[in-house]
Amino acid sequence: MNCINKACLFLLFFAVLSVSVYAQDPLQLSLEDCIKMALENNENIEIYKQIKESAKWQLSSAKKAKGVNISWQTSAYRIDRDYYYTTFGNTLSMQVPISTGRRIEETINRQLLQLDSADISLENQKQLIRFAVIEAYYNVLQCKNLVTIAESGVRMSSEQMSVIQTQYDEGALVKSDLLHMQIELANYEQGLIDAKGSLEIAENKLLSLIGLPIDTLIETTDKFEYSPYPMTLEECLEFAKANRLDSKIAKNAVKQSETQIKILKADEKPSISAVASKNITDNKASHFSRNESWEAGVVMTWKIFNNNETKHSVKSAEAEVKRAKAEAVGVDKNILLQTKSAYIQMKSAEKNIETSAEAVLKAKENLSISQARYEEGVDILLNLTDAQEKLIRAGTNYYTALYEYNLGRASLEKAIGK
């Protein structure tokens, strides 16, 4: 095989390898990418969109009740009057409501409120999905950080194990020290396995939320960051009162219940309609000339007595109003409680960031000192492994504080409806 053929085979192999590696490249995903994908693919969004669409058509239907109604009635009768004969009739009628005691108007108002609630509910569902994605994304970031910490523990233990194995082989250490280090390494390796398993579960949950197959390889591009939250607790509480969507939905439900009372009370008032009709009868179905008549005028309908049906329906609706008002008060109380709790949790995590960051620096210094003392033969192995464990724990605490702060911040913004 000449050099050219060898070169071609090498290039072909390199090309195939490159395609294979490229096919396995993970999908780069930012938090905003994930939120966008979830909002596009989540089935709950479609459900609430259709609820809103239904509310639109219900409003349109309520508005149509104010318009003209035209009906056609046809009939055929067999009559016995000294002799048998057949008569056919057709009636064309038109009716236009003039006054319904505000039944139509209040029905339209109720449908407007329902459409508004459907719109708010759709946006509220989007907020819930946004938070679910943020939480899942942050869980992935946290698990990745914990994997990094676990890998550093395995690496440090492996390096120390290599040194101790050499010392033991040279007879400089007793077997108990070797066994102690082997146990430490096994524990760190087990911790790494668990951390990787947790990361895979967190990634699968995120993939499910954003609508991707769970075997998709992904790489998160965002990192945990810290910046002080710009709003005070009082500002957060005021913002929540004005912007929480579930509070608006609850208040809207009260208005709908109050409107239902007005609709029911319309039955106690007279309704007036303009009517016109034309009647045609004949003894043949295809002829309409024997008898023709038309009429036009105004019809008033007033339910003088309906056995207190309306009164009892109004009482039921009034009870519904009281229930809706009580529920709205409960929603507002819960919103304030959620906001305050989220704010306190966020501030606690914020303090832990500074504390845990200092602990990491001290743990690194402590490990360096323990390492030097052990190498000089003035300290025991147990103190060295203890220093390593303290560094791992400090690093875990630091990343956990960052995670809890960022998640707490997101929880706070969800609580205030931002």
- Rounded to whole angstroms, what are the CA distances from 18 to 5, 14, 315? 20, 6, 76
| pLDDT over threshold 80, residue 396 | yes
Q: Is 81 helix (H, G, I), strand (E, B) or coil?
A: strand
**Residue 44 CA to chain centroid, in angstroms?**
8
Residue 24 tokens, joined: 């396995």
What mean pLDDT comes out for the span 49-74?
90
> Phi, psi at residue 147, to the nearest 5°?
-65, -45
Q: Does residue 277 contact residue 294 with C-beta atoms inside 8 Å?
A: yes
CA distance 274 to 98: 7
Q: Name the pairing type of β-strands 218-220 and 27-29.
A: parallel
CA distance 301 to 95: 13
CA atoms in the 13 A half-sphere facing the CB of 253:
18
| pLDDT over threshold 60, residue 352 | yes
pLDDT for 5: 45
Which residues touch 39 (CB under 8 Å, ≥6 apart)? Answer: 45, 126, 129, 130
> pLDDT tens-digit profile of 109-149?
999 999 999 999 999 999 999 999 999 999 999 999 999 99
> pLDDT tens-digit profile of 150-192?
999 999 889 888 888 888 888 877 888 888 888 988 999 999 9
pLDDT for 148: 93
Which residues touch 296 (CB under 8 Å, ≥6 apart)? Answer: 274, 275, 276, 277
Q: Does residue 131 contact residue 213 with C-beta atoms inside 8 Å?
A: no
pTM (2 d.p.): 0.79
